[in-house]
Amino acid sequence: MIQNSEHSMIIIDSPFHVSFTGHNELPTIACVGKCKKPWWPIDLEDVAKDVCPMCGSVTSAAMEGVHYSVLAQANRDLRYGVLGTFRPKVTLIATAHAS
Ligand SMILES: [Zn+2]
């Protein structure tokens, strides 16, 4: 369940993933092993923060320009057509925010 009263979001590009969050925050943890995925604190609430939940590799503090770059950051919902180029999950969230 996404609680997002301000409808802000951010899209992050990393070596093998385009990630996003409904919160206008940058990721704080990044996998430095196989999958290179950036993680937000909410992703790691129930798991060890020094091990990547995706591939089991070591993680480190995420640094913009090193582990990820910001593709888009918006204080309002991005339009469906923009989000439609990303993963289906993004589209679902965009649709939910459209109403
Ligand atoms: Zn990983």
Q: Give the pLDDT confidence of 16-69 residue by residue, as tens digits.
A: 888 877 777 899 999 999 999 999 988 898 888 899 999 999 999 999 999 999
Please give the model's pTM, rounded to 2 decimal places: 0.63
Which band of pLDDT confidence, cut at 50, 70 and 90, is reported for residue 78?
Answer: low
- Tell me how far apart the alpha carbons of residues 58 and 62 are, in angstroms, rounded to a whole number: 12
**Structure confidence at residue 99 as a pLDDT band (50, 70, 90):** very low
How is residue 47 written in tokens?
């798991």
Q: Where are the alpha helices (DSSP H) in 1-99?
A: 80-83, 88-98
Q: How far is the CA of 58 from the centre of ligand 1 (A)?
A: 7
Residues with Cβ < 8 Å from 81, sequence gap 6 or more? none
Distance of CA 67 from the midpoint of ligand 1 (Å): 12
Distance, in Å, from the CA atom of 95 to the CA atom of 13, rounded to the nearest integer, reads 22
Predicted pLDDT at 55: 95
The domain locations on the chain are 9-94
Residues by chain with Cβ below 5 Å of ion ligand 1: 31, 35, 52, 54-55, 57
What is the residue whose two structure tokens read 């990393």?
Answer: 14
Distance 76 CA to ligand 1 centre (A): 30
- Residue 86's φ and ψ, nearest 5 degrees, are -100, -160
Identify the pLDDT of residue 41: 87
